[in-house]
A and B are shown apart, each in its own frame.
Chain A
Amino acid sequence: MDVKSAMTRARRGLREERRLYVVAVTSLAVAFLCLGATLLGVTNLDAAATRWGHSGRITLFLKDDADPQDIAQLRVVLEGLGDVSEVTHVTPEQARASFLEEADVGADLGSLPSEVFPASLEVTLVNGVTRERSESIASRLGQFRAVSDVESYRGWFEKLDHLLWGARMLAAGLALLVVFCVVAVIGNTIRLAVARRRQEIEVMKLCGATNGFVRGPFVLEGMFQGFASALLAVLALLAGYLALHEPVDSTLAALTGSRIVFLSAWTMLALLLGGALIGAIGSALSVRRYLSV
């Protein structure tokens, strides 16, 4: 196939069928936008999970009657561990004050006495400690006499894992749906274009054009439609991100400690190239049946 000639003919085809292609590209851009938005959600959940996973914490709740010497000894042990970066002793009064400040509760709970809140040791782990390692440290610390309970936030991580798994499944399902939409829409668009250019195909075939020569411009047109739709979706997503990330970012940072991230360069590249590839496949499939002249 002569690529230069195919590109010239594809340009001519795009020019002649521009209205049809504008409608197709717009419809496909919506499909890609749904996929892009889901991927953006997954990317951000991933980023949050990674951040939380890396900034590991363990809370050791102390017995009400714990001996201060035992607590001091426990602190020494903790500070000697290579995986621990910081240990903070939180007294019942500090716990109560922190609760009232963060929870924004009414006057009813404000009257709770300090004794309701147990004293604790907040253990911050160094970056990069795996969840398994964190679990193993937590179970060993639970055996100390002064410790009544250990919170390793395993439940949180499990919930987050479930959420991530669900989001990934949703993204995969949407990706499949988008592939189907792209193949169907581009296939039908190209089929319409082929029907309108049937005489051209017939003339070319009678002049000795190979199937590749005839198919070439249609494949390029499909490729362009897929690429343009994906590009439009990425640009729309970027515009939305730029418009919203400042107000959303501060809220999210306060709530979760992480900031919104945009799709990675690789994800964007995969969306654009994937769009082009699916477009090419869709048009190659739809033009096949018109080649028997």
Chain B
Amino acid sequence: MQGTKVVRPFPFFRAGARASQPQLSKPILVLEDVYKFFRPDQPTLRGVNLLVDRGEFVFITGPSGAGKSTLLKLVYRELTVDEGRVLFCGRDIGRLTDGSVPFLRRNLGIVFQDFRIIDHWTVFENVAVALEILSIPQRLIRSRVAEALERVGLAGRGPEQTSNLSGGEKQRVAIARAIVPEPALILADEPTGNLDPHLAIDILTLFEEINATGTTVLFATHDHSLISKRDHRLVAIDEGRVVEAQKGLKHWPGSGIHTLVG
């Protein structure tokens, strides 16, 4: 921590707060001419511009190492931009103090390829942790966790040990943990990468159901079989640059899927 004062950027960043009308009309996420360097001569992201409206479902795709995860990490502030700006709900998150970052993350649900759930905890404990952070009363935590587990198809499995679950079920637990605080934006970083194609479609459908309730979803994947099945907006990153299509692969400006995912 930097020792500077904690900035709670605006009411929307507080747990349980709803966006005001002016905020609702703004795009939820804007990337303005973003550069990220891991090596001085070779930027991972070069001049990325992206605008995501509230309630959108966006595929982010590109070959391995293209910068999909980097882009998401810039949004949840695991990394900071070297040039340009990332605006979440109009706020430049690159300028948040370290103490304010937790309040940004409380508005985000993050799902990873490797699930990142705690094996020696129960399903309930894994999901409840996202609400315990918000100091929500236990009674409310119980009901909201039960509701989230029902949404991901794990109703009544709260007391089970997570280590006994299958890969698909573990990912559902991770999704339940991401949605339980009702975040404004869900960032899914290759959430189907460890699952077989059938389960991958199930998980994608689950994200679409979550999106249907108004939550914005950024779904990073390099699996073109998934992308080709849906008509969501498509953002491709290749060699650090962004190309996009508003309605899936059918409207892709290039010469086909291979130009997209390499």
Q: Is B24 an interface residue (CB 8 A)?
A: no
The answer on a CB contact under 8 Å between B116 and A206 is yes
Which of B60-68, B87-95, B103-111, B219-227 contacts the other chain?
Answer: B103-111
* Pick from B1, B78, B120, B130: contact of A207, CB under 8 Å: B130
Whole-angstrom distance between the alpha carbons of A271 and B105 in the complex? 42
Q: What residues on B are CB-neighbors of A211 within 8 Å?
A: 1, 99
Asked whether B76 is an interface residue with its Cβ less than 8 Å from the other chain, the reply is: yes
Q: What string of 1s and 0s marks CB contacts (under 8 Å) between B128-158 and chain A? A: 0110111100000000000000000000000
Contact flag A206-B135 (CB < 8 Å), given A16-B120, A199-B118? no
Looking at the assembled complex, report how far the CB atom of A203 sits from the nearest CB atom of chain B, in whole angstroms. Answer: 6
How many angstroms from the CA of A205 to the CA of B76 in the assembled complex? 11
* B102 interface residue per 8 A CB criterion: yes
B218 at the interface (CB under 8 A from A): no
| B129 touching A207, Cβ below 8 Å | yes
A207 contacts B133, C-beta separation under 8 Å: yes
The closest CB in chain B to the CB of A213 belongs to: B133
Asked if A206 meets B118 with Cβ closer than 8 Å, knowing A5-B132, A5-B135, A211-B1, the reply is no
B177 at the interface (CB under 8 A from A): yes
Which residues 19-48 in B have Cβ within 8 Å of A in the complex? none
Query: Please, which residues of chain A bring their CB within 8 A of the CB of B133?
Result: 204, 207-210, 213
How many residues from B make CB contacts under 8 Å with A? 25
Residue in B15, B129, B181 with the greatest tally of chain A CB atoms within 10 Å? B129
Q: Which residues of B contact A293 (CB under 8 A)?
A: 78
- Cross-chain contact B116 with A204 (CB below 8 angstroms): no
Residue A48 is within 8 A (CB to CB) of chain B in the complex: no
Chain A 278-293 against B: per-residue CB contact (8 Å), 1 yes, 0 no? 0000000000000101
Residue in A closest to B110 when the chains form the complex, CB atoms: A206
Complex Cα–Cα for A200 and B118 (A): 7
A2 touching B76, Cβ below 8 Å: no
In the complex, which residue of chain B has the Cβ closest to the Cβ of A211?
A: B1
Residue B117 interfacial (CB < 8 Å): yes
Question: With A16-B120, A210-B99 given, is the CB distance from A203 to B129 under 8 Å?
Answer: yes
Whether a CB of chain B sits under 8 angstroms from the CB of A83 is no
Q: Given A209-B102, A209-B133, A291-B1, A203–B118 Cβ distance below 8 Å? A: yes
A200 vs B134: C-alpha distance when bound (angstroms): 16
Beta-carbon contact of A207 and B103 below 8 Å: no
* Interface bits B57-86 vs A (CB < 8 Å: 1, else 0): 000000000000000000010100000000
Quote the shortest CB–CB distance from A290 to chain B (angstroms).
Answer: 13
Q: How far is the CA of A203 from the CA of B102 in the complex (A)?
A: 12
Contact A204 B105 (CB under 8 A): no
- If A5-B132, A5-B135 touch, whether A207 touches B117 (CB-CB below 8 Å) is no
By the criterion CB–CB under 8 Å, are A208 and B103 in contact? yes
Size bracket, chain A contacts: 10 to 19
CA A4 to CA B132, docked complex, whole Å: 10
Q: Which residues of A contact B135 (CB under 8 A)?
A: 2, 5
- Whose C-beta in chain B lies nearest to the C-beta of A5? B132
Is A202's CB under 8 angstroms from B116's CB?
yes
Partner pick for A204 among B15, B99, B110, B129, CB 8 A cutoff: B129
Chain B residue contacts of A16, Cβ below 8 A? 120
Question: B129 to A206, Cβ gap below 8 A?
Answer: no
How long is the Cα–Cα vector from A207 to B104 in the complex, in angstroms?
10
Residues of B within 8 A of A213 (CB): 102, 133
- The smallest C-beta distance from B179 to any residue of chain A, in angstroms, reads 12
Closest beta carbon of chain B to A287's beta carbon, Å: 12
Q: Which residues of A contact B129 (CB under 8 A)?
A: 203-204, 207
Give bound CA distance, A203 to B1, whole Å.
18
Enumerate chain B residues within 8 angstroms of A5, measured Cβ to Cβ: 132, 135
Determine the chain B residues whose CB is within 8 A of the CB of A206 once the complex forms.
Answer: 76, 105, 110, 116
Q: How far is the CA of A199 from the CA of B126 in the complex (A)?
A: 12
CB within 8 Å of B: which A162-209 residues: 199-200, 202-209
Contacts of B103 in A (CB 8 A): 208
Quick one: closest B residue to A9, CB to CB?
B132
Please name the residue on chain A nearest to B125 by beta carbon.
A12
Q: How far does the Cβ of A292 sit from chain B's closest Cβ, in whole Å?
A: 8
Chain B residues with CB under 8 Å of A202's CB are 116
Give min CB distance, A223 to chain B, whole Å.
20
Cα-based distance from A213 to B104 in the complex (angstroms): 16
Whose C-beta in chain A lies nearest to the C-beta of B13? A208
- Residues in A neighbouring B132, C-beta threshold 8 A: 2, 5
Residue ranges of B at the interface with A (Cβ–Cβ < 8 Å): 1, 15, 76, 78, 99, 102-108, 110, 116-118, 120, 129-130, 132-135, 177, 181
Which of A's residues lie within 8 Å of B, judged by CB? 2, 5, 16, 199-200, 202-211, 213, 291, 293
Can you show 6 pairs from A to B with CB atoms below 8 A apart? Answer: A203-B118, A204-B129, A206-B76, A208-B102, A208-B106, A209-B102
Which 5 residue pairs of A and B lie closest in terms of their CB atoms, listed nearest first?
A208-B106, A208-B105, A207-B130, A2-B135, A208-B102
Q: Can you add 4 more A-B contacts, CB < 8 Å, to A5-B135, A208-B133?
A: A2-B132, A203-B118, A206-B116, A213-B102
